[in-house]
């Protein structure tokens, strides 16, 4: 059994690091063809004449890859009860074919729910960097996590 994580495992100041896959050209074009077919995401030749000088990933693709990193690192082992939203999402640097993304999550705030005592709300700060250490994206996001069940006497 993998270790389970609960609301109590996310205390302000805690840092979690996670690694993502290498982003391929095929994936960038495939995601963008479905969801964001702007020419600098889908057309390699046309992208050369864009302000980016080449193909770049849709920002929604980058953020979706981050979601997958979170899932693989801890979220699938939590009682994850969804998210009300995100503040200050910034796409700071283009993500290009061949980039490998890493992510650092810092817990900013953790509050037990006033109306539902079995859960709490965690505010996270995420920083995403590429293989050269350039900051490509930052985001602050909320997540609702289940609390550790009380230990009962046998």
Partner 1 sequence: MTTIKYYWEDFTPGWVYESPPRLLTAQQIMAFGREYDPQSYHTDEEAAKSSPFGGLIASGWQTCSVAMRLMCDGYLLQTTCIGSPGLEELRWLKPVRPGDALRLHTTVLEQTPSQKDPARGTVKFRWDVLNQKDQVVCSMTGRQHYRRRTPAQ
Instruction: Pick from 2, 13, 51, 154 the residue near partner 1 by CB under 8 A.
Output: 51
For strand 135-146 and strand 100-112, is the pairing parallel, antiparallel, or unpaired?
unpaired
Phi, psi dihedrals of residue 131, rounded to the nearest 5°: -65, -15
35 touches partner 1 by CB under 8 A? yes
112 touches partner 1 by CB under 8 A? no
CA 121 – CA 113 distance, rounded (Å): 7
**C-beta closer to partner 1: residue 26 or 153:** 26
Give the range of 14-22, 53-61, 96-104, 125-133 binding partner 1 by CB under 8 A: 53-61
CA 134 – CA 92 distance, rounded (Å): 9
What's the min distance (Å) between Cβ of 81 and partner 1? 6
36 touches partner 1 by CB under 8 A? yes
What's the min distance (Å) between Cβ of 153 and partner 1? 28
34 touches partner 1 by CB under 8 A? yes
Q: Which two three-digit tokens encode residue 12?
A: 């302000």
Q: Residue 148: which of 119, 121, 122 has the closest Cα?
A: 119
Instruction: Pick from 16, 25, 54, 71 the residue near partner 1 by CB under 8 A.
Output: 71
**C-beta closer to partner 1: residue 10 or 91:** 91
> For tokens 């046998």, what's the residue?
154
CA 37 – CA 35 distance, rounded (Å): 6
Residue 138 DSSP class: E
Binding positions for partner 1, rule: CB under 8 A: 34-40, 46, 50-52, 58-60, 63-65, 67-68, 71, 75-76, 80-92
């Amino acid at each position: 059994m993998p270790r389970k994580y609960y609301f109590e495992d996310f205390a302000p100041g805690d840092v979690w690091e996670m690694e993502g896959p290498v982003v391929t050209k095929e994936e960038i074009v495939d995601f963008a063809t479905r969801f964001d077919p702007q020419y600098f995401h889908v057309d390699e030749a046309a992208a050369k004449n864009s302000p980016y000088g080449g193909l770049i990933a849709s920002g929604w693709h980058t953020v979706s890859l981050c979601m997958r990193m979170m899932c693989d690192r801890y979220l699938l082992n939590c009682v994850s009860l969804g998210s009300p939203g995100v503040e200050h999402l910034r796409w700071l640097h283009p993500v290009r074919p061949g980039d490998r993304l890493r992510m650092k999550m810092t817990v900013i705030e953790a509050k037990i729910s006033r109306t539902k005592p079995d859960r709490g709300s965690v505010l996270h700060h995420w920083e995403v960097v590429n293989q050269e250490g350039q900051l490509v994206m930052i985001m602050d996001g909320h997540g609702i996590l289940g609390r550790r069940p009380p230990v009962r006497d046998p």
